[in-house]
């Protein structure tokens, strides 16, 4: 089956990207050096094509109440137009169907952005719940839009440089706030642990913005750097750090579940009855090697598993997220099975890096 391609596919080929299949999309893995792209984001600015993700617009008088039941986080926190909310989408058993961001666009309009690999599943689930609970809510999948993530300490300045009309409206934005300006939807969000914007715009306009950013010195970056950056920032990847078999409380996402709010949501009753068996902690490898997903972990409290692991270009050592017994604590020594050898590692709190600086204990 042929892979899907974004509106920037020709730009990727022109930049000699190494392309790979990601969730049914032909996407750039890197443009020559994954590590150099990683460092460019940490030190200056990089741009990612994330148009494979799907925006879903919701409209109608029942939309807010519907989202309140659909999502585990508290939609009542969306009190200003442009405000964003990170949440898990749960099934009836409290398992994680996906993680997503929802924006209040004002009035009865909202926009949810879901992951590429789960877009079809999410859309079907949301439509099914809409038909059952709130048939007055209109749903529109926005495949007419492209999405660019411009990330790094210089990212916002580079966006203002190439699109000066956006500065006045977006410079005051706090994290997790967005504005629609001059045909662009700019959100101060990201998946790297750095400042910047995620920009949604008509797909036909995306190549021009991409080229202008590159001409302004922003580095094109692929999925490889995106993964090492998000792991240093302690951000979950769906399908590895959480899925339908785990609850948010077993995936380090308990803070996104609004159990204290007085509203019912899908999966709430199940969560009240499911006692977490594991927790998500960070690992730092003390021996030589590289941590990878699915490696076995053992400690005095039992066994666990690495969910995401990599070599950290910023820290110069191997790091991971791991699902470990509840009794494990930051500072505990553990062992990880790597190529039939048990190597020493230490449990730590994550994130590992934020704004380019190490957060590891001395």
Strand-strand pairing, 219-221 and 46-49: parallel
The chain-wide mean pLDDT, for the chain, equals 97
Instruction: Give the CATH number for residue 325.
Output: 2.40.30.110
Q: Do 60 and 187 belong together in one domain?
A: yes
Question: Does residue 360 belong to any structural domain of this protein?
Answer: no
Boundary residue ending a domain (243, 274, 305): 274
Strand-strand pairing, 96-106 and 84-90: antiparallel
133's torsion region: left (phi>0), alpha (psi -120 to 50) or beta? alpha
Confidence of residue 361 (pLDDT cuts 50, 70, 90): confident
Confidence of residue 261 (pLDDT cuts 50, 70, 90): confident
For residues 328-353, give the mean pLDDT: 98
Q: What is the pLDDT of residue 2?
A: 83
For residues 139-157, give the mean pLDDT: 98
Domain of residue 160: give its range.
1-274
Q: What percent of the chain has pLDDT over 90?
A: 98
137 vs 108: CA distance, rounded Å: 9
Query: For the chain, how many structural domains are there in total?
Result: 2
Measure Cα distances from 110 to 68, 84, 199, 302 in Å.
Answer: 12, 10, 16, 44
168 forms beta bridges with none
96 vs 114: CA distance, rounded Å: 13
Boundary residue ending a domain (217, 242, 274): 274
Q: Do 149 and 288 belong together in one domain?
A: no
pTM across the whole model: 0.97
Q: What is the pLDDT of residue 263?
A: 84
Query: Widest CA span of the chain, in angstroms?
Result: 59
Q: What is the pLDDT of residue 238?
A: 97
Q: Do 41 and 60 belong together in one domain?
A: yes
Q: What is the pLDDT of residues 282-320, one digit of tens each?
A: 999 999 999 999 999 999 999 999 999 999 999 999 999
Q: Do 180 and 79 belong together in one domain?
A: yes
For residues 229-237, give the mean pLDDT: 98
Q: What is the pLDDT of residues 267-279, one digit of tens each?
A: 999 999 999 999 9
Cα–Cα nearest to 250, from 322, 170, 355, 149: 322
CA-based torsion, 70, 73, 75, 76: positive or negative: positive
Q: Do 94 and 172 belong together in one domain?
A: yes
Is the pLDDT reported for residue 123 higher than 90?
Answer: yes
> Cβ distance 214 to 8 under 8 Å?
no
Is the pLDDT reported for residue 14 higher than 90?
Answer: yes
85: helix, strand or coil: strand
286 vs 301: CA distance, rounded Å: 19
Q: Do 70 and 214 belong together in one domain?
A: yes
Confidence of residue 352 (pLDDT cuts 50, 70, 90): very high
């Amino acid at each position: 089956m042929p892979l899907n391609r974004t509106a920037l596919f020709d730009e990727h080929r022109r930049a000699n990207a190494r392309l790979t299949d990601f969730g049914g999309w032909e996407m750039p893995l890197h443009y020559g050096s994954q590590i150099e792209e990683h460092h460019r984001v940490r030190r200056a600015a990089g741009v990612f094509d994330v148009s494979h993700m799907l925006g879903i617009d919701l409209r109608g008088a029942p939309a807010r109440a519907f989202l309140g039941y659909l999502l585990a986080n508290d939609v009542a926190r969306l009190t200003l137009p442009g405000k964003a909310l990170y949440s898990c989408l749960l099934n009836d058993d409290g398992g994680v169907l996906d993680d997503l961001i929802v924006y209040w666009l004002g009035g009865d309009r909202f926009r949810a952005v879901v992951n590429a690999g789960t877009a079809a599943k999410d859309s079907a689930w949301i439509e099914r719940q809409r038909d059952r609970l709130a048939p007055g809510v209109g749903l529109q999948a926005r495949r007419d839009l492209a999405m660019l993530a411009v990330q790094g300490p210089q990212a916002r300045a580079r966006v203002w440089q190439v699109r000066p009309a956006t500065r006045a409206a977006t410079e005051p934005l706090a994290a997790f706030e967005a504005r629609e300006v001059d045909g662009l939807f700019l959100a101060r969000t990201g998946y790297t642990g750095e400042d910047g914007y995620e920009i949604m715009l008509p797909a036909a306009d995306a190549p021009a913005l991409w080229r202008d950013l590159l001409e302004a010195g922003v580095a094109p970056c692929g999925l490889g750097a995106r993964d090492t950056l998000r792991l240093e920032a302690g951000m979950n990847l769906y399908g590895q750090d959480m899925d339908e078999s785990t609850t948010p409380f077993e995936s380090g996402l308990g803070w996104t579940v609004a159990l204290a709010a007085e509203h019912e949501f899908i999966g709430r009753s199940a969560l009240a009855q499911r006692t977490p068996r594991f927790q998500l902690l960070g690992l730092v490898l003390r021996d030589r090697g590289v941590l990878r997903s699915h490696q076995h972990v053992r400690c005095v409290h039992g066994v666990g598993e690495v969910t995401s692991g990599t070599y950290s270009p910023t820290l110069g050592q191997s790091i991971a997220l791991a699902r470990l017994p509840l009794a494990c604590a930051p500072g505990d020594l553990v062992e990880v099975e790597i190529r039939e050898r048990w190597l020493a590692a230490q449990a730590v709190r994550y994130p590992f890096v934020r704004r380019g600086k190490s957060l590891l204990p001395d």
